[in-house]
């Protein structure tokens, strides 16, 4: 709640009731929706994978060949991840709040 200095007027009873009514309308479930937790987990996992692929792309071609990768394969993985992210964003947008 808002603090009042000695110069300002204290809130009226009506203002206090309105503030309490606003707080009562605020609904927070005891547990967030499971789909939201799943979505966050997938997003974190996808971000980790993208960062790992980007770290590999910073290496030289010889090191990548030693690890069994080619630069084209890694770029393809990044592009596929972007497509998946766009599809996921679209699915979330259609589901609504």
Instruction: Specify the pTM.
Output: 0.51
Query: Running along the chain, 97 residues long, what does each successive block of 10 average in pLDDT?
Result: 62 84 71 84 90 91 91 87 62 56
Rounded to whole angstroms, how far apart are CA atoms 36 and 43?
11
Identify the pLDDT of residue 60: 93
Identify the pLDDT of residue 78: 85
Contact 19, 11 (CB under 8 A): yes
Identify the pLDDT of residue 34: 85
Angle between helices 34-57 and 71-95 (to 10 degrees): 160
Identify the pLDDT of residue 91: 59
Residue 7, helix vs strand vs coil: coil
CA angle 62, 67, 70 (to 5 degrees): 65
């Amino acid at each position: 709640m808002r603090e009042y200095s000695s110069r300002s007027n204290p809130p009226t009873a009506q203002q206090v009731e309105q503030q309490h009514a606003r707080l009562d309308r605020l609904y927070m479930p005891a547990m967030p929706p499971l789909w939201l937790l799943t979505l966050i987990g997938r997003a974190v996992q996808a971000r980790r994978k993208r960062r790992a692929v980007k770290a590999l792309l910073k290496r030289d071609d010889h090191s990548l060949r030693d690890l069994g990768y080619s630069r084209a394969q890694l770029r393809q993985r990044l592009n596929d991840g972007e497509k998946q992210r766009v599809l996921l964003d679209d699915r979330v947008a259609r589901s609504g709040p």
